[in-house]
A and B are shown apart, each in its own frame.
Chain A
């Protein structure tokens, strides 16, 4: 249970690094587009953007195997894109259209993909934590060797049900990685104003769950930590906690007064710790890619995102009959 920061291993192939760059850039451009569509009134309700946190999901997906499961909160667009869900289907769900993953009935916070083992998209803070432990329970019951990534934020980390889930997950050796995405703000309340605990991952010690803190702006560090956590789970040793220190550049949701932190703080993070810029610079300095290679990736991503926006605008609203379907199986 040593608190050891995962080592960044620069020993990584050009292809792998380019893949991370592409995946993170897709999330960022997608979210920027979602922000635009929200401003145009095409997306309604709540919309929580993932900009700044991209390295968390991209790094952990690099540690996952086919068949592993993931579940998260309402800030879920990045998780869906990272696990390979179709950007068209995600964007069309944001616009509430028939072509969305939930046929327009779930919205930004409630999307699922059985095919990609993505179990939502949950709007109640921390409810996904016992649910994720339950998914892991099912895998252990079936003895299929699968692991569940259960994501939640620093805000959710103060909910009681998290600790109920910790207790049972360790008691029953459930193969679940609890991923605390600590972006330092629960809506507008900084971690300093919500807890005197020095760290969240250490709370696992009370239940016998090992864990560690991870630099969430470094995709390679996240991947390395993810591999360690997954190996622990797959070895039948029970859950593992990763507290991933990250940062969200945008507001909690689209209507955010931005009074709880300074513009300088956000700018400093963007300038000095941006996860995508870090990989970009690694690619260029390590001669893993040329400026032209990266431009080509940028262009490809832009096209995917624009196409998703077009799809999301063109896809019809769900038929009125859909109101009455999917209530009972």
Chain B
């Protein structure tokens, strides 16, 4: 009985990969555990082992093929005496797909319909653009700043020799050496404190947390030492540094690895908090963050790392803090979001447009400082507001935005502000439950319909 070998999902967020190399050829006998191929994802290169015994009857996907979707048949394993021709090479039914690939919503970049109206571009008119993933944009931002300032260095778990747990620091060790790209032991509290001390001592550390979930071990150093020292020292010394890493839910990693810390850090005076959505913002804001003389919390997102956006092709592209970006103009309702929430906001706006509701979509980009002026101006025009975020509802970013709107634009409101948030539960593992725990585009659409009384 012939067996189809499918493109494996080698990480919770992998949707496709490159079949880098076949290590077997047609006619080879393989047994369980033999390495059959090297698969490359945007995060890493991994060896793919056989799980069944048999003969490689046919290789369906040639080596070097990029963009092979998870669960695509890549080879056929046959038994002794069996002919490949006996087997139909029809693609495996998609229903067999691992649930992990169902959960993530389609890439925003893959939705060409999205009218990405940038009303106040952060680059000069006529600037050439290039396509980049968020991952590449972050790496380029760090590399550019490390080239221009010797005091900038990167430390964290697996940032150097492993090339980054999520490949954000790929290539940096080669270019800058082990003095400036430093692998730490697994010791978040300790290396965060050493980073803050190094900042007191005149350096500009970039401290990578493998995920912000692990930064909870270090949060005392972030808040009590990094954020408060400038004030406590009467302005004599502070911590010019960046704490960065993926934040929020990835896919199917359960409660302890799936928390959005935006609202937590946003509360702390002395910190600046950045949460980009697009690659251009990731790049421009990261460069600004590294140059900033204060501790900056830079909240990235694992699902967004692989998304592609247009990035201005400039020598030195920066985005200022405290300036929201209006992605889409509209007059019926204001949707305010940031980070991965933007994906739901923009999708909802597209679908709402089909129903004749024109949403204005605002990406805050930085949560502290927060560009509340842009929100208020928009709400004065639309008279309605929905906020979208992945974090929990109680004490959410949306709660704060609601209070600002209430205080500064109460008379302009035609409906109560609705905060679309993640559900008030620890993140479940089961695919269906996880999907339900996260904010969805449909919920945003429903909220907009409520505030517009449709």
Contact = CB atoms under 8 A, between A and B. Distances in A.
Contacts of B189: 130, 160-161, 164
Given A112-B236, A167-B185, A167-B187, A329 B198 contact: no
A28 B235 CA distance: 29
Interface string B15-55: 00000000000000000000000000000000000000000
A102 B235 CA distance: 8
B221 A127 contact: yes
Contacts of B179: 141
Interface centre among A129, A325, A327 (most CB of B within 10 A): A327
A102 B234 contact: yes
A105 B231 contact: yes
B220 A134 contact: no
A141 B293 CA distance: 19
Contacts of B192: 130
Nearest to B153: A141
A135 B199 CA distance: 8
A100 B232 CA distance: 11
Interface in A98-115: 100-106, 110-114
B201 interface: yes
Interface of A is mostly: mixed
A121 B224 CA distance: 12
B270 interface: yes
B212 to A, nearest CB: 19
B257 to A, nearest CB: 21
A124 B269 contact: no
Contact of B232 (A106, A135, A138, A328): A106
Contact of A329 (B201, B232, B293): B293
B308 interface: no
Contacts of A120: 229, 232-233
A264 to B, nearest CB: 39
Given A138-B202, A139-B201, A329-B240, A131 B234 contact: no
Nearest to A113: B236
A130 B197 contact: yes
Interface in B373-395: none
Contacts of B190: 130, 133, 161, 164-165, 167-168
B230 interface: yes
Nearest to A161: B189
Interface centre among B194, B202, B232 (most CB of A within 10 A): B194
B196 interface: yes
Contacts of A152: none
A142 interface: yes
Contacts of B232: 102, 105-106, 110, 112, 120-121
Nearest to A160: B189
A326 B197 contact: no
B187 A168 contact: yes
B234 A106 contact: yes
A164 B293 CA distance: 27
A132 interface: yes
Contacts of A113: 236
A134 B195 contact: yes
Interface of B: 153, 179, 184-185, 187, 189-203, 220-221, 224-225, 229-238, 240, 269-270, 272, 293-294
Interface of A: 69, 71, 100-106, 110-114, 119-124, 127, 129-139, 141-142, 160-161, 164-165, 167-168, 171, 325-329
Given A105-B234, A127-B221, A131-B200, 7 more contacts: A101-B233, A101-B236, A123-B224, A133-B197, A165-B193, A168-B185, A327-B269
6 contacts: A110-B232, A110-B233, A112-B236, A127-B224, A326-B230, A327-B269
